[in-house]
């Protein structure tokens, strides 16, 4: 299952430009009223608990703010924390990136054939639509940053409805978002429930 999901995500990364164009409200944009939604994957409590464990036991390293390709360029120095769950808890690998007010939890999905896909969940930041759990503003896979779209929504005012931007969102297809989301939810649940000693670094 994991290998097929990783391969599908890699293939879709190359085809997302066409998909984004079909769903776009102008180039690289989408309207909330016209895009189907999937529920968030990973509860807030479990995602935040995972972040705490990564920072508490993981290996910290200062890196350049340009070392990681993100949807929005960070301007403050960045710190990366690495850790891996023990085998008894699934052996899932995570990273936390911090820069200024931005905090990102990254889960590395590894297929049976050894292929890897990094899934990034923006946990905190300046965008008010960022929330722990996939797929809210700025959440993405590492190989699909180029295919993100601006998500527009309309106010519920009956008198003068207004359109506003909720920020960049992934352009991945809904089915793939569900599959990746399920893998992410499984990993953070295991991390939050793990009572074994954690392994720093990878």
Residues 109-143 have pLDDT tens digits of 999 899 999 999 999 999 999 999 999 999 999 99
**Tokens read off for 47:** 């995602």
Whether the CA torsion 164, 168, 173, 178 is positive or negative: it is negative
pLDDT digits (tens, 9 = 90+) for 83-108: 999 999 999 999 999 999 999 999 99
Whole-model pTM? 0.80
Report the C-alpha gap between 134 and 131 in whole angstroms. Answer: 8
Q: What is the mean pLDDT of residues 33-42?
A: 59
Angle at 47 between CA 42 and CA 53, to 5 degrees: 145
Closest CA to 166 of 192, 196, 127, 139: 127
Tell me the pLDDT band of 152, cut-offs 50, 70 and 90. Answer: confident
Q: What is the mean pLDDT of the chain?
A: 82
Residue 49 CA: distances (Å) to CA of 30, 45, 53, 79, 149: 32, 6, 6, 18, 29
Whether the CB-CB separation of 73 and 168 falls below 8 Å is answered with no
| β 78-84/59-63 pair status | antiparallel
Kindly tell me the number of DSSP H helices and DSSP E strands found in the chain.
3, 10
pLDDT at 37 over 50: no
pLDDT at 7 over 70: no
pLDDT at 153: 72
**Tokens read off for 16:** 């997302």
Closest CA to 147 of 26, 27, 16: 16
What H or E segment, with its residue span, contains residue 52? helix 44-57
Whether the CB-CB separation of 166 and 32 falls below 8 Å is answered with yes
**Tokens read off for 93:** 């690998």
pLDDT at 15 over 60: no
| Exposed e or buried b per residue across 99-112, where buried means at least 16 C-beta atoms within 10 angstroms of its C-beta | beebbbbbbbbbbe
pLDDT at 42 over 60: yes
């Amino acid at each position: 299952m994991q290998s097929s999901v990783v391969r599908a995500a890699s293939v879709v990364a190359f085809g997302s430009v066409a998909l984004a164009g079909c769903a776009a409200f102008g180039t690289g944009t989408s309207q909330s009223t016209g895009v189907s939604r999937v529920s968030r994957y990973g509860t807030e409590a479990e995602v935040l608990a995972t972040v705490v464990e990564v920072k508490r036991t993981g290996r910290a390293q200062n890196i350049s703010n340009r070392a990681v390709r993100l949807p929005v360029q960070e301007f403050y120095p960045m710190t990366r924390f690495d850790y891996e769950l023990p085998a008894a808890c699934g052996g899932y690998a995570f990273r936390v990136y911090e820069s200024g007010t931005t905090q990102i939890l990254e889960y590395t999905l590894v297929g049976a054939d050894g292929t890897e896909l990094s899934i990034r969940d923006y946990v905190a930041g300046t965008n008010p639509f960022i929330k722990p759990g996939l797929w809210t503003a700025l959440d993405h896979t590492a190989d699909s940053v180029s295919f993100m779209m601006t998500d527009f929504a309309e106010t519920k005012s009956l008198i003068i409805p207004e359109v506003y931007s909720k920020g960049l969102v992934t352009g991945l297809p809904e089915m793939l978002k569900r599959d990746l989301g399920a893998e992410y939810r499984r990993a953070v649940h295991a991390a939050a429930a793990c009572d074994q000693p954690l392994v720093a670094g990878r």
